[in-house]
Structure 1
Amino acid sequence: MSSLLPVVGPASGHDQEAAASIITIQKVKVKDLQLTCEFTEQRTPDAPPRAFALTCAEQIHPDLSHALSRLVPHLCLLTEQLAETPDFWPDEAEELPALFEPFTVTGFSMGKHQGGVTLIGQRELTGGRVLNLTAPYQSFDDERASYPYTGLLEATLATALAEVEAALRGKCTEYRQLDLFEQPTAANIHVVPTPPQA
């Protein structure tokens, strides 16, 4: 696995080990296992933020897929697609229950100062068609919040944000192009003698 880059942009100075920059994620989208992200980066806390939009060529790491899957129950409740049942909330390590199979979270959009979130996802319908879902904006600081799991949503989202930041710094699925043709080695080269010509 490649080491994580401390700074998204080029490092200042020659041969200096750069300190980790401050990344603030604004929008995240995953399509075909590739991450597209809008974010700002500051090299120091007092530096002005620089805005970036980035699409990663590598496939996302399974940890990011897992973190996004943990947001599916919230998407289902916020869009009123499913009602809560006793086995609705899975443990962190276990897979999502079967009732969530048609649903995926494909991204999210953060509110100002990361004070809330809008979840974006899909539901695969019976005929194979896809229903796009956009949850209403959910503030984390709203005292009159109608959503009873705001704290859990914020904690689950923090894990997803950490995985997105790790992806921006280089964490991705290991991918190695296989050789089109096997390269000969000394062990599998056979010399066939040719008969002398007269």
Structure 2
Amino acid sequence: MRWTIRISFLLFLAWAIFMVSPFVALYDLGKAVEAKDIDRITERVNFNAVRNSLSRQILGEYMKDQDLEGAERDLATEAGTAILNPVVEQLVTPQALIDLLEDGLPEEATGGMAGTAVPLRFAMGSLKQAWSTFIFSESQGFRSVTIPVPVDEAKEKQFRITMRLKGTTWRLSGIELPVALREELIKRAAVASR
């Protein structure tokens, strides 16, 4: 009986550590952003996955207003990808991620746009705030967690950070941008393409 209790306790402890580990990784990423530690940021970010995530959502927002079907939609998607690619590439650099995660705005890609985004705050000021972040996060199986940041802001002002487990390391693999920032990036891409 004692062995059953010990093994159960060890399994519970391993499960608890696993459940908290993506939040610890996100906190570590936040500390790397504060310190502007490019090497640590590079370790914690899957840039290709972030590029794909940003491209999908910005292009999705762009195509939402288009009334196209079939081949026309495919051509518009290809054209939209070509137009938006320079904007997305400006977002997927270590410095742009520092700006985005520190200020809520990627300065190079938005041209210093002000007043539309909320800075991401990774610091857990209280146990209540940490608990809220944990409760409002969404797990997608055992290898992926989406975390709303900052948790105390309205949904339309939140970033949704996706952390994905690769090997034994949680890495940033997606950033869902607030609506206002997505719209601004689409406007900037349209202006840049003219």
TM-score normalised by length of structure 1: 0.27
Q: Which has the higher contact order (CA 8 A, sep 6+)?
A: 2
TM-score normalised by length of structure 2: 0.28
Between Structure 1 and Structure 2, whose CA radius of gyration is higher? 1
The structure with the greater share of residues assigned to strand is 1
